[in-house]
Amino acid sequence: MQGETRVSRNGEASVAVIGLGPTGTSFVWKFINELQTNPSTVPVRLTAVDPAEELGSGYAFQSVHRLNMRTDRLHINPRAPTGFSDWLRAQPGTHDHDDLEYPPRWLFGRYLQQVLLGAFVSAERAGVAVEHWPTAAVDLVRSGGSFRITGTDGAQRTFDVVVLATGESRHGALAHWAGRQNFVASLAETRQLMQISPIAHVGIVGSGLSAVDICIQLLRQGSQGRISCYSRTRGLPKVQSATAEQQPALLDPDWLDRETRAGRQRLRLSTAARALAEGLDARAREPYTPGMPDAREWFSRAGQRSRQRQDENQVFATAVVAAMESSTTWYDALDSLSPHTPAIWHAIDERDQMLFLTTCQARWSEYRHSMPLVNARALLPAVVSGQLSVRSGLTSVTPEESGAAFRWRIVTRSGPSAHAYDVLIDATGGHLTIACRRDALLRGAIGRGLLTADPRGGVRVRFDTCQVLGTDGSACPNLYLVGPMTFGTHFYTNSFETNRDNAFRVARTVRLSLSRLQRRAARIRRTPHDTDDRGS
C-alpha cells in the first residue's frame, strides 16, 4: 500500500531527491511538469541533495567519450522526442555526421543541465520552492512518518518524501586495489588516465564499452605501448551498423501477455530464448553462418564452437567489416526490445533470472551493448597492428614489486605465464553489490532494514512504483529509488530511457499523493470541528 505524503509542521510537503544526475533530473522535470498541469494547494518544497556545483549531468555525462546510442533515442520530453537532436543541431561545431549521431557525452550532459534549469525556472509557477543542498547524503534514517538525511557537512534535515537517484556504482570489481601504485580505479578518473605515459604498457580489466572508451582515449593521447583488455568470457562489444532500421519489437507486450496468461504465470527463460531465436531468424536477411558476428551465435552450438576457435582480435575485425557493410540486422532487432525489456525481465522466474546472470549475461552484453561504428574505426588500426589485444579467460590480477620496479601481473587460462603491465585500469563498470557494502548511504540504510540488498544486484524495489522494499518485503511509504541501483528489478538500468521512465512514474506517484492530501484537507475544512451550538 502506497503511503500518503505528509505535511510538515510549517504547512508544506517536503520532497528530497538525492542525486541530480540524469535520473534525478528526469524526476525533477516530470514532478514540476505534473504540478504545473495539476496545481497543488499544499505548498511543496523540493530539495536537491547533491555536492556538485553544476547539477543535471552526473559524472557519467561529463566526459569527452562518445555516446553509445543514437541521439534520436535520448530526450526528456515524450512530446518532443527530437528535443536533444534539435538542441544538438543548434550548437556550434556539431554539424559532422558522427557528432550529430554519437556526440560527446558532455554535450548530452549540457542538454540535461539546461533541461533542469528550465524546470527550476518554471517551478515557481507550479507552486514549488526549489533549493539546492550542496552535500552528499551519507545517512538516511526513518523517523516516524518522515526521513532524516545526514550530509557530509554534518547537517541533518527531515523530509516527508525521499527519492534516491544516486546513480551507478563507482566501485569496480578491483575496488580493493584502490590507492595502489599505477592503478586507475575507473573510467571516471579522467585525470589519472591523462597522466599515463605514452610508452607505458597498459592492462585493462574489462572489455565492455568502458574499456572501449579508455582504449580510444589512450590512443588519442598518443599511446605507443601495449594495450590489452582482459575479461573472463567475452570479447569487445560488437559493432552497430552505419544506419539504423526501425523494427517492430521482437517480444512485444502482446507476446508477453500470451506467454504469461496476462501475468497469471511466470515466464521461463527457455521460452524467452526460443522466441528471441525465432525472432532474430525472421528478421535476418540471410541464414546464420557460424563465425560471423551475429547474435544468433547464442543459439548455435556450431557458432559457439567457431567462436572458441577464433582469436578475439579477428572476431572484432570481422565485426567492423560486417558493420561497414550494414549487415547487422541483429542490432536493430535487439534494440527493438528496449522499451519492453524491464517487463520481460520482471515476468521471468527469479531462479531463471539468476541463471541468466551467471551464465548468459556477458555474451548478451557483448551484442546488446554494442559500440558505434565511429568508435570501432578508431580502434581498428591498433587491433590490426597488434598494439591493442583482447584476451578472455582472465583468472587473476596481482601487483608485483621488485626493488624500484612495480608492475601488474595478469594471468589467463590460456597459459601459465603472466602478462606484465606498467599500469592497471579497472574497466569492469560499477558493481552494485560492492556499492551496497561500501557506499555509506546504502550500507547504513541496508543495515537498518530500510533498504534490502538484491541478490540479483542493487536494491530491491517494487517494479511498478519503485518504492523500496524493506527486509520484510513490504514497501516503504514515501521512499523511492530510481536508476541503476534497481538493476535486479528492472534489469535494463544502464539505459537512460528505462531510468527516465521509472523516474517519471515516481514523479506522478508523488504528485498523486499530494492530490490525495489536498482532497483530505478540503474534507477537513468542510467538516465542523465544534459541537452543534443551536441551543446556546
Nearest CA to 468 among 206, 142, 240? 142
Whether pLDDT at 533 is above 50: no
Residues 210-225: tens digit of each pLDDT: 999 999 999 999 999 9
- Does residue 465 register a pLDDT over 50? yes
- 418 in Cβ contact with 403 (< 8 Å): no
Counting every residue, how long is the chain?
536
The answer on pLDDT for 403 being more than 50 is: yes
pTM value? 0.91
Q: Taking a C-beta distance cutoff of 8 angstroms, is the pair 48, 27 a contact? A: no
- pLDDT, residue 10, reads 58
Cβ-proximal residues to 195 (8 Å cutoff; 6+ apart), any chain? none
Distances (CA, A) of 278 to 275, 299, 322, 343, 401: 5, 10, 22, 20, 53
Which residue would you say has higher pLDDT here, 179 or 19? Answer: 19
The rounded mean pLDDT for the chain is 90
SS3 (DSSP) at 229: strand
Number of continuous H segments (helices) and E segments (strands) in the chain: 19, 17
Check residue 417 and give its pLDDT.
66
SS3 348: strand
DSSP character for 222? T
Portion of the chain with pLDDT greater than 70, in percent: 93
Helical H runs in 293-372? 301-309, 312-324, 329-335, 341-347, 350-359, 361-368
- For 414-441, b/e burial (b = at least 16 CB within 10 A) is eeeebbebbbbbbbbbbbbbbbbeebeb
- The answer to whether the beta carbons of residues 32 and 504 sit under 8 Å apart is no
What is the structure's pLDDT at 535?
A: 40
pLDDT at 3: 44
Q: Residue 144 has what pLDDT?
A: 86
Question: In sequence order, what are the residues at sequence separation of 6 or more whose Cβ sits closer than 8 angstroms to the Cβ of residue 202?
Answer: 196, 218, 223, 225, 226, 227, 228, 421, 422, 423, 424, 425
Give, rounded to a whole angstrom, the gap between the first and last alpha carbons of the chain.
45
| Domains delineated in the chain | 13-65+104-171+431-524 (3.50.50.60), 175-236+374-426 (3.50.50.60), 253-370 (no CATH)
Query: Among candidates 317, 318, 319, which has minimal Cα distance to 384?
Result: 317
Task: Tell whether the model's pLDDT for residue 6 goes beyond 60.
Answer: no
Distance CA 193, CA 226 (A): 15
What pLDDT is recorded for position 532?
Answer: 42
Q: Is the pLDDT of residue 184 over 50?
A: yes
- pLDDT per residue over 369-386, tens digit each? 999 999 999 999 999 999
| The pLDDT of residue 518 | 61
Cα distance between residue 534 and residue 536, in whole Å:
6
Mean pLDDT of 131-141: 96
